[in-house]
Homo-oligomer: A and B are copies of this chain.
Amino acid sequence: MTPRIREILSWYGADNPGTLTNLARLLGHGKLGGTGKLVILPVDQGFEHGPGRSFAPNPPAYDPRYHFQLALDAGCNAYAAPLGFLEAGAREFAGDLPLILKASNHDVLMDEKDPDQALTATVHDALRLGCVGIGFTIYPGSANRLKMYEMVRAQAEEAKKHGLVVIVWAYPRGSQLSKEGETAIDVCGYAAQIACQLGAHIAKVKVPTAHLEQPEAKKVYEERQVPIGTIAERIAHVVQCAFDGRRIVIFSGGAEASEDALLEEVRGIQAGGGFGSIIGRNSFQRPHDEAVSLLGRIIDIYQGN
């Protein structure tokens, strides 16, 4: 246990030792183990976007075992996936790496302005599969958001009782948000705050832009001259919104991007004090060795190299 991990655990004073143990496992695994930084491989796109769109670019990725192995080979902290994908490899890879059960999902066979999530697995599933944590998506901004917050509440209560880590994917979407508002700095910071207030141990948000969406917020950001000009400044602001840095907040890698653009973003996350990345499509949609290499370069950045 490094001093940094001990420090991070100290922020979670309301949690039982079981949850701290699982959080320590997550923070202690892989190449970033002990640094307090995280790179997680998440693969829920088969459900969320469809298998063809997700895996045709790199067909070995249709096999659920591929992702366990990729996360291991790249030295990620953990692998996160829906019930089916985890069930299909959990015995074979038992004990090899921390697993996170992505326990809510949505698909795009219908495109709603105010999307919702289905609860697709529970704490019981996470425990029987040997996971360290359980994750849920919320869509702040959706007319269905209160229902999703209540789903997180109920599941998080169970998770904490049973010593699991709770991760909340906070993706602003909804009929009153503009497309660019979904990644606006005020909205991303708000989403991180909501996840933390709901009791998440780890919040996951998108890398924000400098756009300010809500007039009431815009007024305050401008009056107070909150620095949001660079990626690093915006990351620092989101970290501030996540209880002034006392909750772990990590950032999604987004759609497939050039390696340079992605690494630039990661450098911004590192510079702004972000806790790491959750890199899905940019890893499993590349050939295995390229993905391992790219994840290695990302990990290097988080190691301060």
Q: Which residues of A contact B (CB under 8 A)?
A: 11-15, 46-47, 49-53, 55-57, 59, 62-65, 82-92, 105-112, 116-122, 124-125, 128-129, 140-143, 145-147, 149-150, 153, 157, 172, 174-177, 186-187, 189-194, 196-200, 214, 216-217, 220-221, 224, 226, 237, 240-241, 243-244, 246-247
Q: Are B107 and A140 in contact (CB under 8 A)?
A: yes
Identify which of B83, B146, B177, B189 contacts A116 (C-beta below 8 A).
B146
Q: Can you identify 14 A-B contacts, CB atoms within 8 angstroms? A: A11-B88, A13-B90, A14-B129, A46-B241, A53-B220, A56-B226, A63-B244, A84-B200, A85-B197, A109-B172, A117-B146, A118-B145, A119-B150, A125-B199
User: Across the interface, which residues of B come within 8 angstroms of A50, CB to CB?
Assistant: 186, 189-190, 193, 214, 217
User: Across the interface, which residues of B come within 8 angstroms of A186, CB to CB?
Assistant: 50, 52
Q: A51-B189, A85-B243, A87-B199 are in contact. List 16 more A-B contacts (CB 8 A).
A: A50-B186, A50-B217, A51-B192, A52-B186, A57-B220, A63-B246, A65-B246, A82-B197, A83-B153, A107-B140, A110-B175, A110-B176, A118-B150, A120-B149, A120-B150, A125-B157
Instruction: Determine the distance from Cα of A216 to Cα of B241 in the docked complex, in whole angstroms.
Output: 34
Instruction: Determine the distance from Cα of A4 to Cα of B240 in the docked complex, in whole angstroms.
Output: 43
Q: Are A141 and B110 in contact (CB under 8 A)?
A: yes
Q: Are B224 and A118 in contact (CB under 8 A)?
A: no
Q: Are B53 and A197 in contact (CB under 8 A)?
A: no
Identify which of B51, B53, B86, B88 contacts A246 (C-beta below 8 A).
B88
Q: Which residue of B lies closest to A16 (CB)?
A: B128
Instruction: Determine the distance from Cα of A57 to Cα of B216 in the docked complex, in whole angstroms.
Output: 13
Q: Which residue of B lies closest to A120 (CB)?
A: B153
Identify which of B90, B107, B214 contacts A194 (C-beta below 8 A).
B107
Q: Which residue of B lies closest to A116 (CB)?
A: B146
